[in-house]
Amino acid sequence: MKSWSCEDSPGILEETKRVARLLDIIARISTRPKMWTRRALAQAFEISERRIQEDLEILIHRLCLPLVHSRTGYYLTELKPLPSVTFAFGEAVALLLAANVGRSTAGVDSAELAAALTRLKEAFPTELRRLLDTLDSRGGTTEADDHRRQVLEVLHEAVGTRTTVRMVYATASRDDAESERLVDPYALVPYVRSFHLVGHCHTRGEIRIFKVDRIKELSLTGERFEVPGDFDVGEYLGESWGLMRGVARAPELVQIRFAPRAGRRVSEERWQPGQRAEWQPDGSLIFSLRVGITPAFVNWVLYYGADAEVLQPTWLAREVRKEAAAVVAAYERKGEGAAT
């Protein structure tokens, strides 16, 4: 008798993908209300806006979720708690181990995960709680890790409830000088292995980006605020590479040829909306995107070394060549010093 698999039923496989996408949409809107427009969701899932609209109609009309659209994006007016779930002992331990790993992963909502961990631990007998607490120390978490987790938990609450925060922030451009600020937190943005807060700084009177790891002290003020109706975090960050507003050049077409081994890694990631990856007969990859080039982008190209060749713009090729030559020169000087 032939065994059944999802591959035998493409329709079921497609429906499974849609269910996963619907759950992902709910999670995104729940953690970042009024920040996800139909266009932004379509770009995130790399599908058409029409497909996203169909998904949203399922959530609203078939699942009866209180999903509302504002000028800046969708949000849920309320979300009913899920029914309680019972786990076998082995299942609960496996979930705890997985959740602890997830806490250090960029993009995971640390506040929700911390709450889930607490509830899972409460399901165990009292005599096992001390043993379970040792799970938190596995992986060698540092004081800095704990501080980041606490700051993220407060910020997630502040973003969700639209509550102004008071922070002590160390500014990199001023030799880590610390200053106290009142900030209206609009959104949390994961970038590389860190998080950044986008919000209105009362001290500067404008929207600023704050690196979470530079927040030394943080507390909720209890004061509520409203995000401006015309604010869109995607538009604010723009088409520049990374989170370096103010230092990016005007967006332009960039083409880079990657050797096969590097091309495979590059093609697996979604670096920027509108990117294109075209495999060549010789196995290389031509990677194209329109982006505002920043120093971080130059460093990204240099990371791939000889496996990356800038095809255009020509000024970027010269810049990468100059930086690579400076690296070689620095090592040659060190080599000469060691020889003497």
Contact 229, 70 (CB under 8 A): yes
Which pLDDT value is given to residue 40?
87
C-alpha 327, offset from chain centre? 31
Which pLDDT value is given to residue 224?
93
Which pLDDT value is given to residue 2?
39
Low-confidence stretches of the chain (pLDDT beneath 50): 1-10, 105-107, 138-140, 340
Which pLDDT value is given to residue 323?
92
Which pLDDT value is given to residue 321?
94
Which pLDDT value is given to residue 255?
96
Q: Which tokens is 34 given?
A: 């009024």
| Amino acid found at 5 | S
Distance CA 166, CA 187 (A): 16
Cβ within 8 Å of residue 264, ≥6 positions away? 285
Q: Is 117 helix (H, G, I), strand (E, B) or coil?
A: helix
Cα→Cα distances 328→317, 322, 331, 332, Å: 17, 10, 5, 6
| Bridge pairing between strands 206-211 and 215-224 | unpaired
Which pLDDT value is given to residue 220?
92
Which pLDDT value is given to residue 6?
40
Ramachandran bin of 119, using left for φ above 0, alpha for ψ from -120 to 50, beta for the remaining angles:
alpha
Contact 73, 35 (CB under 8 A): yes
- Rg (the chain; Cα; Å): 24
Q: Please report where in the chains the tokens 């860190």 appear, as a residue.
A: 194
Structural domains present in the chain: 6-76 (1.10.10.10), 89-141 (no CATH), 144-237 (2.30.30.520), 252-336 (3.30.70)
Cβ within 8 Å of residue 67, ≥6 positions away? 29, 56, 59, 60, 74, 75, 76
Which pLDDT value is given to residue 18?
78
